[in-house]
Amino acid sequence: MIQRYPAILSYSIPNKIIPKLDWLQQRLSLTDDELSNLMRRFPPLFSYSVDVNIEPTMNFFIDALGDEDEALALLIRVPNLFSYSLEKRLKPRLKEAMDVGMVIDTACLSRIGTYTESQWQKGREFQVKELAKQRDAKSDASAAN
């Protein structure tokens, strides 16, 4: 972990590391092993502010999914979702997804965060076409009846 994230050496153990680990473990309901795995997979969490970064990001995913357990499970599975800007990436892309009628589920939210701009635009265009096909098929079926 130190090789991947050497900045951790400059953090105060009693003032920064332990309080953050305690908060994450309690908030995410993690065992010691699960917490260790999470921090090994995404050490930049050590540098994020709970009040400014971590909690607002959690709340975004909880609100978007409407299911706290599902949102927290997503963040544990894909912890780098904490690294994306709420204002510049997550919120605008969620609005785009909702505006075109995408189903907002964990797969969609994962793509909202992790896709590059090009991947996101291509995926959004594909979804728009698929949704249009579904609407056309429904209207054709209704017209046939």
pLDDT > 70? residue 71: yes
Q: Distance between CA atoms of 5 and 8, rounded to whole angstroms?
A: 6
Average pLDDT over residues 127-133: 86
Residue 10: what pLDDT? 62
pLDDT > 70? residue 143: no
pLDDT > 70? residue 118: yes
Average pLDDT over residues 14-35: 89
pLDDT > 90? residue 15: no
Alpha carbon of 31 to those of 43, 75, 106, 120, 126: distances in Å?
17, 15, 23, 34, 40
The pTM (predicted TM-score) of the whole model is: 0.82
Average pLDDT over residues 5-33: 82
pLDDT band of 127, cuts 50, 70, 90: confident
Compute the mean pLDDT over every residue in the chain, rounded to the nearest whole number.
89
Chain centre to alpha carbon of residue 142: 38
Q: 10 or 90, which is more confident?
A: 90
Q: Dump pLDDT digits (tens) for 39-54.
A: 889 988 888 999 999 9
Average pLDDT over residues 92-105: 94
The 3-class secondary structure across the chain, one letter per residue, is CCCCCHHHHHCCHHHHHHHHHHHHHHHHCCCHHHHHHHHHHCHHHHHCCHHHHHHHHHHHHHHHHCCHHHHHHHHHHCHHHHHCCHHHHHHHHHHHHHHCCCCCCHHHHHHHHHCCHHHHHHHHHHHHHHHHHHHHHHHHHHHHC
